[in-house]
Amino acid sequence: MIKHLFVVLTLFFALSCKKGVADGEIIPPETAPLSRAVIGYGVVNTNYTHVLDKQGGDGKSLGFLRKGAIVEVLERRPLVTSEKTENWVLARGSYRGWLKEDELQIYDTEAKAKTASSLMPQ
């Protein structure tokens, strides 16, 4: 009985295989979505924040961004110290540098970030 089931299943799989391109075959894009350079868009949610050259409070200020500014989020990293863990993002906007993640609202598209920025009270 088991031998017959095995033979039937083997024939089924062998006959269902088809060579060539099937109609309506889905071909993935050349650049996979996980490899995109921007992982999201951030909107500054504090009155202003400094963009730093490295993670942590001892980073040098490269400039600052005001509430509602939109940046591209390139990378996320936790910074673990003896007291706490803070999440930081590498952002690109007026400056390219590090911001505390809790000073941003992060969206998956630029359109959503622009909408959020326009609705944010200044």
The CATH number of residue 86's host domain is 2.30.30.40
Cα(121)–Cα(54) distance, integer angstroms? 29
Total number of domains constituting the chain: 1
In a domain, 27, yes or no: no
Q: Kindly state whether residue 3 falls inside one of the protein's structural domains.
A: no
Amino acid at 70: I
pLDDT tens, 47-62?
A: 999 999 999 888 999 9
More confident residue, 10 or 45: 45
Q: Report residue 25's pLDDT band, with 50, 70 and 90 as the boundaries.
A: low
User: Residue 4 domain-assigned?
Assistant: no
**Mean pLDDT, the chain, whole residue set:** 83
- Name the residue range of residue 84's domain: 37-119
pLDDT for position 32: 45
* Nearest of 113, 96, 95 to residue 104 by alpha carbon: 113
Strands 40-44 and 61-66, how do they pair?
Answer: unpaired
- What residues have CB less than 8 Å from 74, skipping those under 6 apart? 37, 38, 39, 89, 90, 91, 92
Of the candidates 33, 102, 99, which has an alpha carbon nearest to the alpha carbon of residue 71? 99
